[in-house]
Every structure is written in C-alpha cells, then in structure tokens.
Structure 1
Amino acid sequence: MSILEKLSKKNLASEHLWRQIIGALFIWRPKFFWAFVILVIPLSGGITFILTSHISQPSGKFLAFTEFVILNLVVWLTIKVCRRLLEVFNLKKDGNSITWCYVTILFAIGLWIISFVFIFKIENNGSIATALGVIGSLLTWIFQDKIKGVVTFFHLRLHHLLNIDDWLIVEKLGVDGEVQKITLTSVIVYNWDTTTSTIPINALQTEHFINLKSMKDGKTYGRRMLQTFILDTGWFRVLSDDEIEQIKKEVVAPDITNRESVSMNLFSEEIHKGMLNAQLYRLYIYHWLMNHQHISQQPRLIVNWMEQKDGGMALQVYAFITDSTLAQFEWQQSQIIEHIIKSLDWFGLRLYQSPSAFDVSNSNIYLTKEPADYRKEVKI
C-alpha cells in the first residue's frame, strides 16, 4: 500500500467532512485517470470543434476547449468524490450525509448544463438550442423512471419516511426486512429469510409500504397481535352452578394466588349464575391478557366476538406485545395462542374445524347398515 493510499484511508476514517473529502479526492486509481485522459479530453475537443464551427467563433476554439475541459474535470472529480464518500456513509449508516452527497451530484450535473450553455453561447443560436431541446426531451422520456426515482428519493428523505436500518414491508413486492442501502434509483433490503431484494425507489411512491422503525426502536407500545379463533357454537351453553364453582376453584383461584392479580380479582367478581361458557371464556381471556407481563394495555386491548359465520363464532384477540423484535414477538405470540387453545377445554368449548376425510371415514354414522370397506379387492 502506497503512502498516498494510507493517507487517503486515514482521512476517510476521520469524523471531519473536509478531511473525508480530501481522502476521497486523493485516492489513486489509474483506471479512472486514464479513462478521463482517453475519453473525456478527446470528447471535449470534438464537441468544442463542432459547436464553435456552427457558432462561427474560430478564434475562440482554444478558449472554449480549455473551459470545457476544466468544467468536465471539476464535475468528474465531484461525482467521483461523492461516490467514494457514499461508500463510507453507507457503512456508517449516515442517512443525512448520503442525501447531501446525492444533492451535490445533481448540483454538479446542473452546473455542467448551465456552464455548457454559457461556454458555447447556445442562447444566441436558435438551431442548436432547438436541437438540444429535442435531445433533452428525448432523454427525459427515456429516463423518466430515473427522474421519478430522484423525485421519490428526495420526497422520502425530506419527510423522514425512509432511512438505513429501517424495517420495511412492501407486501405486493414480497419485501420484509431491513433497509441496507438507499440510492437515487433503488432501495436494497435484507429480508428476514436471508435473501436480498432490490426494488426501484419510485415503487415506494406508488405501492403501499409499512415502516416499522418506530416500533423496532421501542418508541411505540409494542407490536400488534391480531389473531382470530373460530369456536364451534354447538358447544355454547349455560353453565350450571357447580360448573361455575369449579371454574372459580380450578381456574380463577390459582391465577389470583400465583400472580396476586387485581385483574383476576375483578374477573372473579364478574362471574354470576346463568352465564354462557363462551361469555365467561371471553372475560377470562381478556383479564388474563391484562395480567400478562408481555402485553401492553395501551393503546388498546380488545377481546371481542365477530360476525357469526357458517363455520362458527369468531373470537378476535387484538393486543400489543411489548417484545417487538421478530424472534421474541413470535415466541410470545405462540405462547399466548397455546394458552388460549388450552384454556378452551376448561370452559367446555372447542375450536371449529371442517371435517376431514379421516373424520368422515371414522364416523359412527353410516348411510348403510354395514360400514364401507375401502380395501381393494384382490382377484385370485
């Protein structure tokens, strides 16, 4: 590693912007230098010759050529420095600096266009201005998606709608993971299934997306749990006095003893004669969730019956789990679901499930006097 490379990397690692710019400016990459010498300088000379010939300024060719080469050099170096700094800022996950780098690149391109007009005095030549206008319109039509991407980028960044490390969900595009990189035209997302998705940034302007950054950082009440359980209404009935006393003894009392729960005490006070087992079960689940250490009672905790359907009665649980990270949330949600299913039996309830072929073949109800024999006959 040369001294220049060591000095460049040292400056790039600095926290001061001016030192980072110097470090990016003095990175020695021969292929970039020769690309400039071989392509940019001859191209500048050719454009200068053609335009000055049409403008009839043969005496100003050398001056225009010099100005045009200097302009290309400045813009070329600006873009190279910004691209190098973008790599550093992406590693540091510095979203604001990334935005300013792209602003600088666009400003450099705009400066090139304005300076190009003044160097060759195109405003005084209608034919050249018209030709460039047609070319500009054609390029705008060709690169319309890129232009939309630039507009979307600044819209998202100025309104703080998207940052690196945000948890992004775009259901229509199958994206669910953390944002790794944001450019003027694309967003790279590392999905939870360890795959990487690259989506055009303008898709975030047209498609619905969800940003879970605030929830991930613990700035909300937690992550929403929304589960629906279909109960078989054939098991709904009024509980007898003995059954109510048994539930108080075997279900409510252990919870009060073990947890010293105010919520479970309130639940025991709400129990009265003539209650439906489904009603008592709904109240139990509600108070049990209120007492759960991983459930937030804000912004809402709802356990309610939904519309009756052919399959049964739907019990919906709407709650917020305080453990919002993916693994912990799924673990706590699974434990809650398992308890809800297990406690059904305490109240004499069952989940509804459509009969399977196994259920039908093992039923004790037959259409004929003899049960069907599904064994294949073997001819001897």
Structure 2
Amino acid sequence: MDQELRASITQWLATVGIDSQPADGVSTSILVIVCFIVAFIGYIFVKRGVVSTMNMVITRSRVHWDDIFMRYRVLEKLAKLVPALILNIILPLALTEHEVLASLADRLLDVTIVILFVRAVYSALDAANEVADVNLVSRRLPIKSFVQLFKLFMFFVAIIISISVLADQSPVYFLSGLGVATGLVMLVFRDTILGFVAGIQLAANRMVSPTDWIQMDKYGADGAVEEVSLTTVKVRNWDQTITMIPAYALVSDAFKNWRGMSESGGRRIKRSVQIDISSIGFLTEQDRQRLSKINLLKSYFAAKSQEISTFNAQVEDADMPVNSRHLTNVGTFRAYMLAYLKQHEKVHKDMTLLVRQLAPTSSGVPIELYIFTNDIRWAAYEDIQADIFDHVFAILPEFGLRVYQGPTGADVRSLQNL
C-alpha cells in the first residue's frame, strides 16, 4: 500500500514538472524544500480548518466534557502528526539518490511520529482523568492510578519502538534483552516497583479512593485523601498539613479508612460518664412520685411498678429491701437516657442505640452512651455530642446522682481541717 501511494505521488510530481529522482544536489534541495512546504500547508489546513471548526462546535455544545479535551489541546497535538506523516511519505522520494540520508530521515520521522502520538494520547488521558474528577467517578475508582499505569505502559512501548526503529532491529530483539537486566532493575528500582504493584492493588480492591478519610498514625496521617497515584497517596490532614504515604505502606501496614462511616450516614458516639458509687441507691416513694412526672418516664414507671408489685406480693417480709425488688436511681437514669435518645432528632434510629453500665472502676461506675448521629459532618457531630452530654451532666442531680470528680488540693485541705 505504501509503495502504491508513493508511486501515485511520484506520478503527480512528474505531471507538474518535478523530477522525483533528481541527479544533482540542487534539485534534491529544491524537492526537500517543496516537501517541507507541502507539510506546512497540510498542517495549516488541518489546524486552521479542521481543528478550528471542531473547536467552534465544542464551544457551542451543551456538554462540558469536550471543553476539557479542548483545554488540554488534544486536537492541536493530533494535528501536529499531519506534517510528520506527510514528510514521512514524500521526503524519501526527494532523497532517492541519497539512500543513507533517506533511510536516516525515514527513521527519524518514524520516531517523531511515535513521540507526537504519545504526547497526544497523554493529553487525552489527562483530560479523561479530569472528566472523571468532575463527574465524581474518581470517588469510586482511582482513575488517576489507571491513567498513570497506561502512561507508563505507553512510555516503555514508545521507547522500545523508537530504539528498534533507530537501530533497524525487531522490537522482539530488545524485549529479549530486558530479561538479562531484570535483576539489576529489581535492585535499583525496588521501591518504585513495590509502589507500582501496591498502586495496582489499591486501585483494584478500592482500598483507598480520593476524598476518603484515612488515619495512619505511623506516618502521622489523619485527614482526607486528595490524590491516589501509583507510588504515593497524598493526604491533607485536618490541620492542613500534607502527608505523602508510600503506596506499598497502605498494603503492608494497618490503617483506618472512615469511608464506611461516611457511606452509612451515621457517626458513632461512644462516651461514658463516671457516676460516684456513693450516690447510687434505691428510689424512695417521694423520689418515685417526683420522677414519675417526667414525660419520658411515665410509661417506664407504669410498667415497672406493675412488675415489681407482682413480684413483691409473692415475697415474705417484702418490707426488707434485701428481700424485695426496688427501683434504683441509676437504673431509672439509664431508662430515662434511653427514652431521651430514642426521641432525639439527631440520633440515628436505624443504628445501634445503647445506654449501658460498664464495670466499676476506682473512678466510679461508667454509664456509656453508644449511639450514632445522623449527621456525619465533623462540626455538627461535635455539637450533637456536646449537647447530649450537657444534658446528661445537668439532669443527673434530678436522680440523686453525682459525677465522680477527683479531689483537688483544696478538697484535701478541707478534709484535714475536719
């Protein structure tokens, strides 16, 4: 096909009076100049005609992804292939009498075409990566890692093809030689290869994606992932510092990814309040009458009073607290907090909701709230948590309970004066 095309061009040059096989250097120089002029005209036609027209269509279109490709000048870089292709076809015709020069020009043009093509593809890949970012595809898939992987693959292919063209050898010849240098490559580029493999694992398993909140204390990382590449993961910490984590570290070491929390729509509150053991006791009749006026406890007292009365009726000497059942202030407080949280508008009702008593310690009896908020934003979450525990501390005296607080120096001196 190439020979037929060149034969057609040769015939066309003959019709316009140009000898495609000149015998002197002057004619050869003229033909070379003519070739460059034809290539330049072809480039101007494609750039000013085809590319400009397509850019006008892109500008007027309603979609936005094509504007990104235009901003990366993908069409302009493809247009640069036109003069190289034209020269690759007609320049050897002008150098027919100079075989060495013709062969060298042909090889250089082939390499130029490969380089220009790779540059155009690189721009298209960068544009595709930005399109993925705009459409939030990168949150589900690390598109940038795949783009870098494809770029790296194209780079090595282009290098091998270019060297094989310049050396006039088959690409298989150079590929076979890479096996000999594998050991040296593994030794010198160990970290790069580890990062490369880890980057593929991160991308394939979706272990980390942009906008994920990850925590990795070993590297001082606690913030949102901004970029996932084949070798590094860029994390912007909450204090606005930047941490660069090697990709292979995320595969070999442990880290925490808060993506599940973000996707679930609930953020956990797991905090306890220490109750002074000396303040825990049975409710008196006056306490029951007073606390039964609390709206959230009316159904609780109604059910518990019936249950306890039925049990105590079957017990001898029920007037002794040790023989019968009685309500405690801490148990009533737990029932109140459970009812309070169930009706709280900021608490996630479809997730775990517990008010539990933990093992007592030297600091008192911990009453832990294990709940999830329905707002995962950091500032809103902190406000909800603070409001709930503000209420806890304020309501405790109503149940005759005290929060344990370690004695201060003034408290110790006052005890000594007694």
TM-score over 0.5 (shorter chain):
yes
| Separation (CA, whole Å) in 2 of partners of 1:353 and 1:6 | 78
- Identify the residue that residue 96 of structure 2 maps to in structure 1: none
Q: For residue 365 of structure 1, what is the amino acid of its counterpart?
A: Q
Cα separation, partners in 2 of 1:176 and 1:91, compared to 1, 3 Å: farther
Q: Secondary structure at the match of 1:320?
A: strand
Match of 2:269 in 1: 225
Tell me the residue number matched to 2:223.
177
Shift of 1:112: 3.6
Q: Work out whether 1:194 is the aligned partner of 2:240.
A: yes
- 1:326 aligns with 378
- CA 1:338/1:268 → structure 2, altered by over 3 Å: closer, same or farther? farther
Q: 1:123 to 1:316 in 2, by over 3 A?
A: same
Shift of 1:178: 2.7
> 2:397, 2:148 → 1: CA distance?
62
Distance 1:181 1:309, change over 3 A: same
Percent identical among aligned pairs is: 24
Aligned-residue offset at 1:322 = 0.8
Could you tell me how far apart the structure 1 residues matched to 2:340 and 2:113 are? 74
Query: In structure 2, how many angstroms separate the alpha carbons of the residues matched to 1:177 and 1:10?
Result: 42
What is the aligned counterpart of 2:287 among 238, 243, 246?
Answer: 243
Question: Aligned match of 1:285 in 337, 346, 349?
Answer: 337
- In structure 2, the residue matched to 1:374 is none
1:288 is displaced (CA, Å) by 1.5
Distance between the aligned counterparts of 2:56 and 2:203, measured in 1?
29
Cα pair 2:300 2:335 within 8 Å, conserved? no
Structure 2 Cα separation of the partners of residues 9 and 316 of structure 1:
65
C-alpha distance 244-149 of structure 1, shift in aligned 2 (>3 A): same
1:225: how far off? 0.8
**Shift, 1:77, TM fit:** 4.7
Residues 78-93 of structure 1: pairs in structure 2 closer than 5 A: 78-79=121-122, 81-83=124-126, 86=129, 89-90=132-133, 93=136
CA contact (8 A) 2:347 2:374 kept: yes
The verdict on how the C-alpha distance between 1:22 and 1:134 changes in structure 2, with shifts beyond 3 A counting, is farther
* Worse-superposed segment, 236-245 or 112-121: 112-121
For 1:285-324, list aligned pairs within 5 A.
285-324=337-376
* Matching residue within 278, 282, 286 for 1:234: 278
Q: In 1, are the aligned partners of 2:266 and 2:374 still within 8 Å (CA)? A: yes
Contact 2:69 2:127 in 1 (8 A): no
Instruction: Render the CA deviation track for 1:300-350: whole Å, top value 9, x for unaligned.
Output: 211111122222222111111111111111111110111111121111112
Whether 1:335 and 2:402 are equivalent positions in the alignment is no
Any idea what the Cα deviations from partners look like across 1:135-180, whole Å, max 9, x if unmatched? Answer: 4433333332222222232323223333322333334433333322
Q: In 2, are the aligned partners of 1:8 and 1:23 still within 8 Å (CA)?
A: no
User: 2:340 and 2:275 mapped to 1: Cα distance?
Assistant: 19
Question: 2:239 is aligned with what amino acid?
Answer: D
Does the aligned pair in 2 maintain the 1:90–1:181 contact within 8 Å? no
- CA separation in 1, counterparts of 2:330 and 2:283? 10
- In structure 2, the CA distance between the partners of 1:165 and 1:15, relative to structure 1 (3 Å rule), is farther
Shift in CA distance, 14/76, structure 1 to aligned 2, threshold 3 Å:
farther
Q: Which ranges of structure 1 fall in alignment gaps of 5 or more residues?
A: 34-58, 257-263, 370-380
1:364 corresponds to 2:415: yes
Q: 1:24 aligns with which of 72, 93, 96?
A: 72
For 1:49, the equivalent position in structure 2 comes to none
CA contact (8 A) 1:78 1:108 kept: no
Confirm or deny: 8 A CA contact 1:303 1:316 kept in the other structure. yes
Structure 2 alignment gaps of length 5 or more: 1-47, 81-101, 309-324
Q: State the distance in 2 between where 1:242 and 1:136 align.
A: 86
| Structure possessing the higher radius of gyration over alpha carbons | 2
Counterparts of 1:167 and 1:6, CA distance in 2: 45
Moved more, 340-349 or 17-26: 17-26
Q: Report SS of the residue matched to 2:72.
A: helix
Aligned amino acid, residue 72 of structure 2? A
Residue of structure 1 in register with 2:183 after alignment? 137
**1:340-355 equivalent positions in 2, closer than 5 A:** 340-355=392-407
CA contact (8 A) 2:269 2:373 kept: yes
Q: Point out the more displaced range, 17-26 or 141-150.
A: 17-26
